[in-house]
A and B are shown apart, each in its own frame.
Chain A
Amino acid sequence: MAGPKSTTSSASSNAVRSLLRAYNENTSSRLKFIDAFLLFLMLSGIIQFVYCILVTNFPFNAFLAGFGSCVGQFVLTASLRSQVNPVNRAEFKDVSPERAFADFALGSIVLHFFVYNFLG
């Protein structure tokens, strides 16, 4: 992968590789599970946005619903992740992981209600 290109590219690929290794070793599987979902949401949102730019936004309500659900779910999931991350325990002393999940579930249901409303 790090072919004989230039020193900067090999250095940056080294950095990326070490970053990935550190992530794999130091992240709990629960957080990886959430991260995978975040990545999924990001990719879905990007593809919908590209479709909107390249092809059409014609059923604009549908685009809003699809894209908005991705963005909104990403925000909710990201906040869930930051609240259940043991590293951030000091910052969210009053928020137990269960409380965070309840917030996440409630927020998701409200978000989905609006998304279906927009879907028309």
Chain B
Amino acid sequence: MQVLWLFALSAATRAYAASLTLQTPRVTITGPDAAELLSESLSLNAKATPSLALGPSDVLKLTFQIVESEEGKGVQPHQTFLRFYDEVSGEEGVQPVKVTAGGKAKFELNMARPPASLPPTTTNPLKVTLLLGSFVHSPAKYELFDLTVPASQPLSQHPSEAAFHPLPEITHTFRPDQKIPAKAVSAFFAGFLLWPWFVLLALWSQVGLRVPHLLSPHILPFVAGIGAFEVLLFWYWVDLKLGQVLLYGGILSVFTALSGKQALAKTAQWRLGRK
């Protein structure tokens, strides 16, 4: 039993150690009129990989057979990929390749209808690499050739592409500060405002109204109260806070209201008595 197990283990390690290689890898390029432009067998050990070029409607055919390197038996690896890699732009595409049970594989690249796995290309060559992966064999990687294909169309702009850029910085514009007009203009108008006073005083002096009771003890407190109110409001403009004004004004209003009631009652007496 133990011997059998050891044998199985050694077989497994032996099988795992066995690597995969390619037999008769061959590349063919045919033109649009089915004329064969190039037919070349690839050597896997060559230092420099061959450079191939494809026209816009050429067809590239790649055929090979995957075999075990020791026994030469055809093997179907679990994974077989062709990798197209643009070293300059960093673009790459990976294309799975179908392999038969006998290890034979055929890949066709028609440039008239390029596969979606072909990366966007420029005039730079694509490095074409074959990647083999297997559960029972060591993985393998073969540089096959450099392929120059016609440059792909530039990417079409998505309609909403412009929305994915930072907007220009918002700069606020403010209305310029208002300016105080020239002193002379202000002074002129301030002086101009004096002449309604002259008109007022002239007319009042012409009317010649007499105020015989102004200084009587009944009237004077009321007039003084009103005057004090005006002084208080002026003081408010110059210095005071609103709360202070309301406080002083409240006190003053009581006094003024009482004195006003007395003064106006007295006035009414005079008016009615005179009649």
Contact = CB atoms under 8 A, between A and B. Distances in A.
Interface string B221-260: 0000010011001101100000001000100000000001
Given A29-B209, A58-B181, A47 B189 contact: yes
B174 interface: no
Contact of B207 (A29, A96, A101): A29
Say whether chain A's binding surface is mostly helix, strand, loop, or mixed: helix
Say whether chain B's binding surface is mostly helix, strand, loop, or mixed: helix
A37 B203 CA distance: 9
Nearest to B236: A116
B26 to A, nearest CB: 92
A116 B237 contact: yes
A32 B189 CA distance: 28
**Which of the four size classes fits the interface of chain B?**
20 to 34
Contacts of A116: 233-234, 236-237
Interface stretch (A6-14, A48-56, A71-79): A48-56
B268 A43 contact: no
Nearest to A36: B203
A101 B264 contact: yes
Contacts of A37: 200
A48 B186 CA distance: 11
A40 interface: yes
Most A Cβ at <10 Å: residue of B186, B230, B233, B245: B233
A44 B207 contact: no
B180 A40 contact: no
A30 B207 CA distance: 8
B179 A58 contact: yes
B199 A43 contact: yes
Contact of B237 (A56, A109, A119): A119
B5 interface: no
Interface string A73-109: 0000000000000000000000011110110010001
A105 B230 CA distance: 11
Interface of B: 178-181, 185-186, 189, 192-193, 195-197, 199-200, 203-204, 207-209, 226, 229-230, 233-234, 236-237, 245, 249, 260, 264-265, 267-268, 271
